[in-house]
Amino acid sequence: MTHAFDKDYWDQHWHQPHGHSPAAMAGKPPNPYLAQATGDLTPGSALDAGCGAGAEAIWLAAHGWQVTAVDIAPEALALAAEREATSGMSGRVRWIEADLTVWEPDKRFDLVTTHYAHPAMPQLAFYDRISAWVAPGGTLLIVGHLHTSATTGHGHHPPAEHGHHPPAEASVTLADITAGLDGTRWEITSAEEHVRTIPGRPVPLHDVVVRATRRT
């Protein structure tokens, strides 16, 4: 099954009753790689590209970052804003509804991060696009689905959430990501593959995590 990952796809996804209620999302922690990869950074401006229900954006704001969070799905952003309010962080995140394949920010950021975001464009092209939004000296943090022999195209829901292997068009390899970061412009500070389990998810996540610093 081919996934378009367009606005219609994501609107349908966020309107389905699959655990994304405000109550369910309130207890969902941010991606663990975020804290691990940003703990040594001085907080500044940050962009969360494909923020979903906002766990990572709110975590960044709570740790001193000035956060812009962008997603194509209004339902996701509504959940994110509600979670922000109930966490006592109201007004700390700038939420933007936009298609990341055409949207352009009005500035560059000290940190650009994305966690399992899948827009309606090739995955590696998306990473290349958002990398242009990192300010000189800033950090790019990519958390994606690792392409493995188990990767399949079945399953209706986004792969990070519902126990399915990610479809091939949403998966990448470590080598492909790092090859796309020009060494004259980027210093790759970490590039790792991980396997982790999530309570209630029947199969483990195979992740690729890349952090890079922009030289120029």
Architecture of domain 44-214: 3-Layer(aba) Sandwich (3.40)
| Per-residue pLDDT reduced to its tens digit, 158-180 | 444 434 566 777 889 999 999 99
pLDDT tens digits, residue range 23-58? 454 457 899 999 999 999 999 999 999 999 999 999
Going by pLDDT thresholds of 50, 70 and 90, the confidence category of residue 84 is very high
How many Å apart are CA 122 and CA 124, to the nearest integer?
Answer: 6
What pLDDT score was predicted for residue 157?
Answer: 35
What distance lies between CA 70 and its chain's CA centroid?
10
> Domain limits of the chain?
44-214
Burial status of residue 72 (CB atoms within 10 A of its CB: 0-12, 13-18, 19 or more): buried
pLDDT band, residue 200 (cuts 50/70/90)? confident
- Which residues 6+ apart lie within 8 Å of 32 measured at CB? 196
